Structure 1
Amino acid sequence: MKPTPFPFALNIGTDIVHLPRITRLLARPNYLTRFTHRILHAREQQDFRTRFSLPPMPSSIPAKSPTTPSISISPDMTRWLAGRFAAKEAARKAAPRGAAHISWKDVVVTVGEEGGRPEVVYLDGNGDGDEAGRVGKLSISHDGEYVVAMVVAAG
């Protein structure tokens, strides 16, 4: 008997991040700003900076200089960033055309009202800040030195 295809087009993506790897990256001089600028959408930047009481994002990535203020990177900050990194990578893998066709900033991790469930929103990539996009279901889990994320998205 020939198998019947699943009635819905679903895509699944998963990613695991080793926290010490992110800790080593963020320990590099001025790398926190470069890392967050590279992977976080502007709304996520604002969420991150508000959550951890950081100054506003500079308009440009600072050059390596001794006058750049140093930010103390906490374990909670590292865990939050690792979770976003894993979620975005999982979402990119779940995208219908794959990770190569969607940028880090075209995936926005959101949390529903009043501590609701996290989701990923695939933006259209036009760069105008439009919030319209397709939503994928997201699960993020932290345990010891690891963060894992899984995304299910309709194809």
Structure 2
Amino acid sequence: MKPTPFPIALNIGTDIVHLPRISKLLHRPSYFTRFTRRILHADEQRDFRARFSLPQPTPASSFSPSPSPPSPSPPLQPPSSITPDVVRWLAGRFAAKEAARKAAPLGAAHISWKEVVVTVGEGGRPEVVYLDGCEGDEGGKGKGEGEGSGGRVGKLSISHDGEYVVAMVVAAG
């Protein structure tokens, strides 16, 4: 007898992160800014600054001798001390985004860290948003920077226990 296919195309992604590994990375000289800039979307960087009372970036000078595109997300300056809560929050984002990239229709290789945004949905439940253009459509890379760039939503489950963070994402295929 031929098996009946599942009625809905779903993709599942999971990831586990060891907190001491992330802590070690974040404590390397000048790596905090590199890490946060690499994995956090501009909206997530703003949320991160607000949540941990980090200084907001100073606005650039209004006069510029040559027109250049504005930076999408100013670098985060490391806090004076990187607390376990900061490490846990960043490790959770890292695990959630890696799980979401694995659950993306074309897989992790076809979607960047910033094309997945971890948000809080209705009822306070975490979810991931795949920004427009990153689901395998033409020209997906680099789209979706800034607010209002909606996309497909994936269901996210994230758990912290001891030295580990685990995340699982279910997304439409």
Q: Normalised by the size of structure 2, how large is the TM-score?
A: 0.80
Matched residue, 1:37: 37
**Structure 1 gaps, min length 5:** 63-67
Overall identity of the aligned pairs, in %: 81
Distance of 1:95 and 1:48 partners within structure 2: 24
Secondary structure of 2:124 counterpart: coil
Amino acid at match of 2:131: L
Distance of 2:51 and 2:145 partners within structure 1: 24
Closer, same or farther: CA 4–28 of 1 in aligned 2, 3 Å? same
Find the partner of 2:101 among 77, 92, 100: 92
Q: Normalised by the size of structure 1, how large is the TM-score?
A: 0.89
Distance of 2:83 and 2:110 partners within structure 1: 33
Closer, same or farther: CA 22–108 of 1 in aligned 2, 3 Å? same
CA contact (8 A) 1:45 1:57 kept: no
Distance of 2:125 and 2:79 partners within structure 1: 33
Q: How many residues align?
A: 149
Deviation at 1:70, TM superposition (A): 5.8
Answer yes or no: is 1:118 the counterpart of 2:126: yes
Distance of 2:80 and 2:113 partners within structure 1: 23
Which stretches of structure 1, 4 residues or longer, exceed 6 Å deviation after superposition?
none
**Structure 2 gaps, min length 5:** 59-70, 133-141
Amino acid at match of 1:102: I
Deviation at 1:72, TM superposition (A): 0.9
